[in-house]
A and B are shown apart, each in its own frame.
Chain A
Amino acid sequence: MKTVTLSASIVALLSGTAVSAQTPLSMWYHGAGNVVESEIINGIVSDFNASQSDYVVSLESFPQGAYNDSVIAAALAGNLPDIMDVDGPVMPNWAWAGYMQPLLIDEDVIADFLPGTKGYYNDQLYSVGFWDAAVALVTRQSILDELGLRTPTLDDPWTGDEFNAALEAAKQSGNYEYAINLGMADAGEWYPYAFSPFLQSFGGDIIDRETYQTAEGVLNGDEAMAFGEWWQGLFEAGYAPGTSQDPADLDTGFTDGRFAFSWTGNWMALNTLLAFEDTLFLPAPDFGHGPKIGAASWQFGVSATSDHPEGASAFIEFALQDEYLAAFSDGIGLIPATPTAAEMTQYYSEGAPMAVFFDLSAAQGTLRPVTPGYVVAAKVFEKALADIANGADVADTLDAAVDEIDTDIQRNNGYN
């Protein structure tokens, strides 16, 4: 909102009072409601404002569930802030839509950052994350021993057959309600984030990354069909609860002993560690094209309408200090972006209980398709997976998903 305060201006002119030389920068962040996160981000803003005299950043926090819609509405209304954060896979869409501009930071600063924390689109850096998130196969050493299973490692993960055999062993033991908690009750971005790496490990993908112009052949090819049949088999065999899973399972299903395995994120790891001393975080299984997990979490960028991209970029560069990366990690349990920051943290330093997630992220992290069309493709993929889990014909469902994704790409002129 443009406010013309004539009286204040006239008073300032007449009195000769120097108006503050600091340029105001507005910043939006998705962490409202997270007390710890808010404290840390407010601390960084305060530190930046105190560290220099050119800019003063003011922070406005939004609840995560309302953030993306608020940004889109603000973009339409021409009301975007200078600095904003963006979920990694959404960034290409916002850059393509003209909401964001490339960052003006020295890329040497982020040389040792985890790959998933760097938001490149069209070979330009648009966003950088303070952290990454990773998914692991959570279980207990005692469960592996009970089921007679070997412990997979990053260098020697389970094959797809070993993974399937582990699920069958858990089912046959009769000690668990289900073999694995896939988090099916957590609809939304969880589906493409957590499950598309399985598809990629089979050799398929959501979109053809060679051209980003079609999903034909990658989402309905032989590899994708094999993935779809396997995915449906998980539910037909009763290894995992389907889409009607009790949401309470997400929080307490594994710790209550109803599952032998849990496919879940590092943000849930601490609860499990507190519950069981012999908790294990295992790498993703390899279905033939390498073990893969999702990468890229929330990142910071500069809006396209910012009149002060240098100042906005200066803030982001300032915030990329290891001490802040470590503070976020200690505060909310996410993986710090750099090895040096990891060493400063409680959970990710060498030998610390969740250090394996840093290695998992570095070794197996796979970006979701870096295209503006991902936003739509992800929703189509989510629905297809839910339908297949509920018994829909695999080939028909994947073909329909391909048609829907391709139609969206065509409607948007290839997102070029």
Chain B
Amino acid sequence: MMATISPDNSGLRLAVRYTVLSLIAVIFLFPLVFMVVSSFKPDAQLLADTASLRAFLPVGDISLDNYAAAFARAPVGLFVFNSVLVTGVTVLLSLFVCSLAAFSFVFLRWRGRKLLLAIIVATLIVPFETIAIPLLLIAANLPWIGLDGFQIGWLNTYRVQIIPWIADGLTIFLFVQYFKDLPGELIEAARVEGASSWTIYRRIVMPLAGPVLATAAILKFLIMYNQYLWPLMVVQQESYRPVMVGLQYFFQLNRAWGEIMAYLSMITVPVLAFYLYMQRAFIASIASTGVKG
């Protein structure tokens, strides 16, 4: 016989729900807890503890030695700064450029927009690895005029890590899907009142785009913060290296696992902080659009 839940046992229902959710949360939290806890342990203890639940507990010889050693081994602060700078600038520019593009596809009438959108969406199935080398050759030979004068080549700069990543099919697609669901009457009313396209974009569309902005920002943040192959190809100077390439500093012949965990704990902080800041809008976006992050 099928069990039924009536208002009488709503307390039980809540208890079951919270128990299941708590168990799932614990499973997802285990790797993070292991990482943070291990970052305080010496290597011998860290390795020994992996065979038991002690791996998730801050017990034994606990210290900040791994953090000190990590800072001695690599310029951790520089790497985090580089990644946050590149990621932050790229996310901001991406939200602006991609939302403008999506606005154009959804609210403006021009020949070929459907074909162009289809082409842009089709780029989602093109792996980055297939365009990496052509992109590298282009980046190595692009001109630039800056404070140092005229230059040929973008290698070993921040801009080479930012500009190629500003516009992408996924972000444009997210904005297009969201804009399509906005009430058309609002846009029409604005047009009747004589609002320009820029005004409609700035005053009407974007103020309503909070959830999709959060979703796009988080997805872009994760993609950019986790960049490895591209910066490895275009950056040969330590001063521009991001965190993921920096992680390789810790994989020596004798691996210092405690230092690796300390480094990972430190570079995870910006990601967690950003996610927690955007969390509410992100969840609202998923709930309203069905987009999975």
Q: Chain A interface (Cβ within 8 Å of chain B)?
A: 1-7, 28, 32-35, 60-66, 69-70, 73-74, 76-79, 246, 248, 251-252, 265, 267-268, 271
Residues of B within 8 A of A246 (CB): 50
Say whether B151 contacts A1, CB under 8 Å. yes
Expressed in whole angstroms, the Cα–Cα distance for A268 and B72 within the complex equals 22
Residues of A within 8 A of B72 (CB): 35
Task: Decide if B234 touches A267 in the complex (CB within 8 Å).
Answer: no
Could you tell me the distance in whole angstroms from the C-beta of B90 to the nearest C-beta in chain A?
Answer: 20
Within 8 A of A (CB), among B217-244: 229, 232-234, 236-238
Q: Which residues of B contact A5 (CB under 8 A)?
A: 148-149
Give Cα A4–Cα B146 distance, bound, in whole angstroms: 11
- Residues of A within 8 Å of B157, CB to CB, are 1
Known: A70-B233, A267-B254. A32 touches B153 (CB 8 A): no
Q: Which partner residue on chain B sits nearest A2 by CB separation?
A: B152
Contact with A along B123-151 (1 / 0, CB 8 A): 00000000001001101100000001111
Q: Which residue on chain A has the smallest CB distance to residue B47?
A: A248
Chain B residues with CB below 8 A from A33, complex form: 73-74, 248-252
Residue from B74, B137, B150, B248 in contact with A77 in the complex, judged by beta carbons closer than 8 Å = B137
The answer to whether the Cβ of B253 comes within 8 Å of any Cβ in the partner chain is: yes
| Complex interface: chain B residues within 8 A of A77 (CB) | 136-137, 139-140, 153, 155, 233-234
Nearest-Cβ distance from residue A2 to partner chain B, whole angstroms: 5
Interface presence of B44 (CB below 8 A):
yes
A62 to B248 alpha-carbon distance, docked (Å): 9
Please, how many angstroms separate the alpha-carbon atoms of A64 and B153 in the complex? 25
Contacting residue for A64 out of B47, B139, B252, CB 8 A: B252
Chain B contact residue count (CB 8 A cutoff): 40
* Closest chain B residue, CB of each to CB of A250: B255
Which B positions have Cβ atoms within 8 angstroms of A? 43-44, 47-48, 50, 72-74, 133, 136-137, 139-140, 148-157, 229, 232-234, 236-238, 245-246, 248-255
Q: Which chain B residues border A2 with CB–CB below 8 Å?
A: 151-153
Which 10 residue pairs spanning A and B have beta carbons closest together?
Answer: A33-B249, A63-B248, A77-B140, A73-B233, A65-B248, A1-B153, A248-B47, A66-B248, A63-B249, A267-B253
Contact: A251 with B137, CB < 8 Å?
A: no
Q: Smallest distance from the beta carbon of B242 to chain A beta carbons, Å?
A: 11
B168 to chain A, nearest CB (A): 21
- Partner pick for A78 among B140, B156, B249, B255, CB 8 A cutoff: B140
**In the complex, which residues of chain A have a beta carbon less than 8 angstroms from the beta carbon of B233?**
69-70, 73, 77
Residue of B nearest to A255 (CB): B44
CB contact under 8 A between A60 and B237, given known A4-B149, A7-B149, A73-B232: yes
B12 to chain A, nearest CB (A): 43
Contact for A251 among B47, B151, B238, CB less than 8 A: B47
Q: Using CB atoms, name the residue of chain B closest to A271.
A: B254
Q: How far is the CB of B236 from chain A (nearest CB, A)?
A: 6
